[in-house]
Amino acid sequence: MAALACCKGRPYAFYKPGAENNPNIPNNERFDGYIVEFVKAVMGLLEIDYKLVPVKDHAYGSQLANGSWDGMVGELIRGVWMCIGFAYIGVSVVLFLVGRFSPYEWHIETQGPEAKMRNEFSVWNSLWFVFSTLMQQGCEVAPR
């Protein structure tokens, strides 16, 4: 279910009379307005379940003195950074696992009388490689 942030303000999105504090009315049925009708039509065509969530501070968004944002823009920015963090961790774990299962990542290291198999793609190297790629920089450790 997708959560869609909305700001109260006529004619775009506003509570129906008597629906703001009524827990018996489903969340999406509490609202009315142009944006509410538009979202309902689009989500109906795409067959996506959604929930309208009013922004806590009832603002579209403005930049604060410390450089951060409030309102809908602030929620969007926090969500984007959260998605980037999850993607960073997810790609690093997948790269680590692929490096462990790929025969091309293993090489024979001969030191002394015994030969050892070694893989350069440790968890930390995977995290470092994804970070350097995200920053568009180079890295000594690269997948083969």
pLDDT per residue as tens digits for the range 101-141: 888 888 887 777 777 888 878 889 889 888 888 888 877 66
How far is Cα 9 from Cα 140, in angstroms, rounded to an integer?
Answer: 54
User: Domain-by-domain residue ranges, the chain?
Assistant: 2-54, 73-134
Tell me what pLDDT residue 142 has: 66
Cβ(69)–Cβ(63) below 8 Å: yes
Q: Roughly how many angstroms between the first and final C-alpha of the chain, as a whole number?
A: 39
How far is Cα 112 from Cα 24, in angstroms, rounded to an integer?
Answer: 76
Tell me what pLDDT residue 18 has: 84
Query: Would you tell me how many other CB atoms lie within 10 Å of the CB of residue 15?
Result: 16
20-26: list long-range contacts, CB under 8 Å, 24+ apart: none
pLDDT per residue as tens digits for the range 35-79: 999 999 999 999 999 998 888 888 888 999 999 999 899 988 988
pLDDT per residue as tens digits for the range 81-104: 999 999 999 999 999 999 888 888
